[in-house]
Amino acid sequence: MASIVEEQYRCWSDHLRPALQREHIAFKTGPELTRQELAWVRDYFRSQVYPVLTPLAVDASHPFPQLGNKTLNVVVSVDNPGTPENEGFLAILPVPRILPRVVQIAPAARGPARFIFLSEIIKLCADQLFAGYRIHGAFAFRVTRNSDLYIDEEEAENLLQRIENELRNLRRGAAVRLEIEDGVDEATFERLTDHLGLAREYVFRIHGPLNLLRLMGVYDLINRPDLKEPPVAPHPGPFALSGENIFAALAQRDVLLHHPYDSFDPVVAFVQEAARDPQVFAIKQTLYRTSGDSPIVHALMEASQNGKQVTALVELKARFDEANNIQWARQLEEAGVHVVYGVVGLKIHCKCCLVVRQEEQGMRHYAHLGTGNYNPKTARIYTDFSLFTARDALTIEVAYLFNTLTGFVRQPSFRHLLVAPYNLHAQIQELIATEATAARQNKPARIVAKMNSLVDRTTIEALYAASCAGVQIDLIVRGVCCLVPGIPGLSENIRVRSIVGRFLEHARAFYFENHGGEPRVYLGSADWMPRNFFRRVEVVFPLEDPALRQRVLQDVLQIQLQDTENARELQPQGAYTPVVRTASQPALASQDHFLADASRRLLRNEGE
């Protein structure tokens, strides 16, 4: 861990900061400020920072303050010149989250853009908070606390209230890590670590800004289009272009979207139209993570107020989003929505929305099934798939799934959907075994699987067995991969690559060439990990339309397997190496290809 942290800050100091400097964007520390810049910083501190800071002394009458999880703090070492025999007083300055962590110096001035971190400003001006005392040093630090929720769900009569109580307890959770600026004196360092009860192996001395994530805010502060990726112009989707009613269109055909190259707006419109359509009687929706001002949540509330039966399965245990989901759950309940808070012992991670509509032939079901969250903001930077369908074989099982999650079903059975923790793991093993059998019989056999992580031991062993049988296996795994490819006699037919580019590769897609003699493509919410197979409710769904299957295989998976720019290949020794491109092979960045394809499709549609 220490080596990773050192590498991060080496990247900042040796690469990013000098590169920005060359583009006339300077990040300054206190000693680097000119006289005019220092005067501006001190004035900024007096007007914007000083009024909201509260220094907390640490002595016999002032106990060490309770520090929030990952909050910015500055520890200041001071002494009283009048009592030289008593030196080394400590004070803590907790920094409110409301203050911007990166400040542009004199933003109205002409010339290079200059920035300074808020912690630097506070350290420079700390003397204004301790009049009459001499400051020996000031150092920014933050504490990471244990954020696990410990809940016995079977004993919890009210899960929402229990989680609310646990969230309050997290503020006092045990410290598990201390990050502090390098250069802190040993006496101050020891007092901090002693109070927090941390061993030295959990303490990291930082050579630079305390929280590099705060650099993300700089992107919006700098008006330099020449340094930024061109804005994404997603394809608006078939409904927007044709002006068709969504339900009339889906009654005729399935629709597949590939985000962010295809807009997320049709997903939002699906729920909004259902909320306003007088023929819609019921809407059922899962919510794992969503945006702060979610149009989907507002649509569900509108639907309930319009007299429709609305059910929302809100996963209160979505890590780090517990508080947001509690807020949404309460608002939904106030609007009359039936809210279900997860399932005992499981997290609801599947992405499903079901609409029940009264039509001439009777009640008809329409479903949206996805690989990503119902979050319009992350849908602009995560790659995911969305399937809209009115096929009875799928929508009836989606309805059955919702009834299973909201009611009591001991052993639910699914024929078309692969649903964890019920049949997903067993079906994946069977699909892999089918390919292995086909290979032994000299039939076409191939597996292409794209996911975030591959960890499950049973699945890895099944892939090894399939490789030994002669199955050609291509894995696109962005994150953790515990399978070792390229070992003779074990995994020589397996290739693993990771793609890291402008967008976060988040979609899960699985291709099996000889599913009963017919190729099959599945999409879904589950990685191949024990938690997804056994501790979460996940849905992996088949593409029944041959054209859509072909689109995923040829236009997405095959393109990513040809990526030469953003792909790295996993070697048997565990290292990832850049793809070696042959002289005849064109350079290909798959994400750029998908963006260009979205533009071509839009132009083609506009020309029709």
Tens digit of each residue's pLDDT (9 = 90 or more) over 140-175: 999 988 765 544 444 444 555 655 555 555 556 778
496: helix, strand or coil: strand
Q: Which residue has the tokens 């204004």?
A: 128
> To the nearest whole number, what is the mean pLDDT of the chain?
89
Per-residue pLDDT for 576 more than 80? yes
Q: Which domains does the chain have, with CATH numbers?
A: 2-144+172-227 (3.30.1840.10), 238-412 (3.30.870.10), 419-591 (3.30.870.10)
Q: What is the pLDDT of residue 155?
A: 42
- When pLDDT is cut at 50, 70 and 90, the band that residue 319 belongs to is low
Backbone φ and ψ of 19, nearest 5°: -65, -40
In angstroms, the CA 591 to CA 596 distance is: 9
Nearest Cα to Cα of residue 146 among 179, 180, 178, 175: 175
Q: What is the pLDDT of residue 81?
A: 73
Q: Please state whether 390 falls in left (phi above 0), alpha (psi between -120 and 50) or beta.
A: alpha
Q: What is the pLDDT of residue 201?
A: 85
In angstroms, the CA 129 to CA 134 distance is: 11
Q: Read off the pLDDT of residues 515-568 as tens digits, 9 standing for 90 and up.
A: 777 899 999 999 999 999 999 999 999 999 999 999 999 999 999 999 999 999
> How much is the average pLDDT of 117-146?
90
**Cα dist. 304→281, 330, 373 in Å?**
10, 14, 22
Q: What amino acid occupies position 426?
A: A
Per-residue pLDDT for 336 more than 50? yes
Per-residue pLDDT for 491 more than 80? yes
Burial profile 114-143: b = 16 or more Cβ within 10 angstroms, e = fewer: bbbbbbbbbbbbbeebbeebeeeebbbbbb
Q: What is the CA radius of gyration of the chain?
A: 28
In angstroms, the CA 158 to CA 162 distance is: 6
Q: What is the pLDDT of residue 413?
A: 92
Q: At what angle do helices 424-440 and 457-469 cross, to 10 degrees?
A: 10
235, 258, 259, 349: the catalytic one is 349
Q: Read off the pLDDT of residues 473-486 as tens digits, 9 standing for 90 and up.
A: 999 999 999 999 99
- Looking at the chain, the whole-number percentage of residues with pLDDT higher than 90 is 66
> How much is the average pLDDT of 233-261?
90
Q: What amino acid occupies position 481?
A: C
Q: What is the pLDDT of residue 157?
A: 44
User: Per the structure block, which two tokens stand in for 196?
Assistant: 């927090």
> How much is the average pLDDT of 196-211?
88
521: helix, strand or coil: strand
In angstroms, the CA 317 to CA 342 distance is: 8
Q: What is the pLDDT of residue 292?
A: 61
Burial profile 473-512: b = 16 or more Cβ within 10 angstroms, e = fewer: bbbbbbeebebbbbeeeebebbbbbbbeeebbbbbbbbbb
Q: Which has more pLDDT, 342 or 450? A: 450
Per-residue pLDDT for 495 more than 90? yes
> What string of H, E and C letters represents the secondary structure of 449-503?
EEECCECCHHHHHHHHHHHHHCCEEEEEECCCECCCCCCCCCCCCEEEEEECCCC
Strand 73-79 and strand 25-28: pairing?
unpaired
Show the CA angle centred on residue 222, arms to residues 218 and 226, nearest 5°.
120
- Taking a C-beta distance cutoff of 8 angstroms, is the pair 559, 595 a contact? no
Q: What is the pLDDT of residue 393?
A: 96
The residues with which 385 forms a beta bridge, in sequence order, are 258
Q: Read off the pLDDT of residues 259-318 as tens digits, 9 standing for 90 and up.
A: 999 999 999 999 999 999 999 999 999 988 765 678 999 999 999 999 999 999 987 764
- When pLDDT is cut at 50, 70 and 90, the band that residue 3 belongs to is confident
Q: What's the burial of 515, exposed, middle or buried (CB within 10 Å: 0-12/13-18/19+)?
A: middle
In angstroms, the CA 401 to CA 36 distance is: 65
> How much is the average pLDDT of 423-436?
97
Percent helix, strand and coil across the chain, each to the nearest 5:
40, 25, 35
Q: What is the pLDDT of residue 407?
A: 86
User: Per the structure block, which two tokens stand in for 117?
Assistant: 């971190």
User: Per the structure block, which two tokens stand in for 230?
Assistant: 């061109």
* From 150-164, 170-184, 316-330, 334-348, the region with the lowest mean pLDDT: 150-164
Total Cβ atoms within 10 A of residue 237: 20
Backbone φ and ψ of 27, nearest 5°: -105, 120
Per-residue pLDDT for 85 more than 80? no
Q: What is the pLDDT of residue 397?
A: 97
Q: What is the pLDDT of residue 291?
A: 59
Q: What is the pLDDT of residue 447?
A: 98
* From 200-214, 311-325, 450-464, 470-484, the region with the lowest mean pLDDT: 311-325
Look up 258 and say whether it is catalytic. no
- Taking a C-beta distance cutoff of 8 angstroms, is the pair 262, 234 a contact? yes
**pTM metric for this prediction:** 0.87
Q: What is the pLDDT of residue 170?
A: 52
Per-residue pLDDT for 363 more than 50? yes
Q: What is the pLDDT of residue 507?
A: 97
Q: What is the pLDDT of residue 156?
A: 41
In angstroms, the CA 494 to CA 518 distance is: 22
Instruction: Report the run of H or E that residue 49 belongs to, with start and end.
Output: none
